[in-house]
Amino acid sequence: MAKLNQIIAVEKGVKSKAHQDLTAVQHGLQKPALLAGISRTYQAKDEEGEQLPPESTRVQVQAEDVLKETARTLTRLFDVTATKDWANCSARADVTVDGRVLLAEVPVAYLLFLEKQLTELNAFVRKLPVLDASESWSQDPSTDAWKTEAVRTLRTKKVPRNHVKAEATDKHPAQVEVYYEDIPVGYWTTVKFSGSLPARRVNELLDRVERLQQAVKFAREEANGAEVTDQRVGDAVFGYLFG
């Protein structure tokens, strides 16, 4: 008795061969000359007339034969697909993470859905914003965000000053150069806030996703190892269609 994973393995090849065979027979039906035949003989008007040999062309393609070949080709495809789909209805397995059954008796179709969704979730978690590692963060209950310690910085203001390079005389005015001096005028107290996540938290989430991904793959392999009962639906379908 075959297993589900063996049926899945051959299904692609059966589909490909069915497509090739159907394409070939359809090409034959599209050539009228292959379906046509003729037989003709020549009789001279009198005994002295020219004698010509008979001519004939055989029919090379019989449409009825094409129907039989089509039924044979598709019967294999219909049977393999039916065997897989019937088995998928009953093939189930538990999703077990760290020795605990997270999901019990999960059908193959849903396991495939889970695999796809978890791949997308993996990519999503990897793109989560992470707190700047150069800062020291703590949770702030009042804002439900992360914050840094308050940092006090000096605020200065540039104030112009005059530097007398040369005193005034009775002949020349004083030579004065203007420069600016930074004078303390106050203090900024800064607290940074962030809605990002600590790297530890992101790594924890990623680890959970990856462990669940692995568990789902193991479950799918287990479910696909179930024995299947060969289904024979092709004969019934084509017996009715082309019979």
CA distance 77 to 12: 10
* pLDDT at res. 43: 83
* pLDDT at res. 203: 96
In Å, what is the CA distance from 41 to each residue of 38, 48, 51? 10, 17, 10
* pLDDT at res. 170: 76
* pLDDT at res. 124: 96
* pLDDT at res. 119: 96
What residue segments make up the domains of the chain, in order of their start? 1-91, 150-190
CA distance 104 to 188: 58
Nearest to 5 by CA among 93, 101, 78, 76: 93
Mean per-residue pLDDT pooled into runs of 10, the chain (243 residues): 84 89 81 79 80 81 81 90 89 94 93 95 95 93 92 92 79 82 92 94 96 96 88 90 85
Predicted TM-score (pTM) of this structure: 0.67
* pLDDT at res. 1: 66
